[in-house]
Amino acid sequence: MRFRELKVSGAWEVTPVIHGDSRGAFLELYKSTAFTEAVGHPFDLRQVNTSVSAPGVLRGVHFADVPPGQAKYVTCLRGAILDVIVDIRVGSPTFGTWDAVLLDDVNRAAVYLGEGLGHAFCALDDKTTVQYLCSSEYSPTREHGIHPLDPELAIDWPSTDRHGRPMEHELSQKDLAAPTFAEALASGLLPTWDATADYVGGLDAAARA
């Protein structure tokens, strides 16, 4: 299992070792010791979500108030997605930037994004199935969104599926109604770099105690 930190600090791509033979394949999708060594603290699993999406479906950009935020460990069990992490932490050195990782049912990679980061993805195949391990339970009063097609974010969403077929982007009514990045910033909706660093620093200190 290999961890590669993304250009948005607090997010990693996790690539497992796949052991395959004529029967199929086996891999370790998550391993606590490897995760803690790379990230600095254990993953506190509180909820597991699964979504099934058609090609072109966009979900996100979603985030939660910090503290406690909601860290996610995301993998694609079937199909393929372009998984996007956005730095929405006001005061962060990489504020407003994003990074993307292809997750699919071939490489079986995962993405971990820590508290205070925005998350979105685009499905690239029929019945694309995504599993999210979450560090906190869903709470509608502290979870928010930013419009994923906001030109200011300028996320380079794919226009074709994994087979090269053209696809149209489809958003939920909630995501269509989400504020722009600038509107979320002006309204004080976004988490801050300092609050996130304090919270994650507390997790790291507890892990070392």
Active site residue 132: yes
**Three-state SS across the chain?**
CEEEECCCCCEEEEECCCEEECCEEECCCCCHHHHHHHHCCCCCCCEEEEEEECCCEEEEEEEECCCCCCCEEEEEEECEEEEEEEECCECCCCCCCEEEEEEECCCCCEEEECCCEEEEEEECCCCEEEEEEECCCCCCCCEEECCCCCCCCCCCCCCECCCCCECCCECCHHHHCCCCHHHHHHCCCCCEHHHHHHHHHHHHHHHHC
CA torsion, points 144, 71, 14, 198, in degrees to nearest 10? Answer: 120
Among candidate residues 19, 30, 62, 73, the one labeled active-site is 62
Instruction: Give the residue numbers annotated as catalytic, written as ranges.
Output: 62, 132
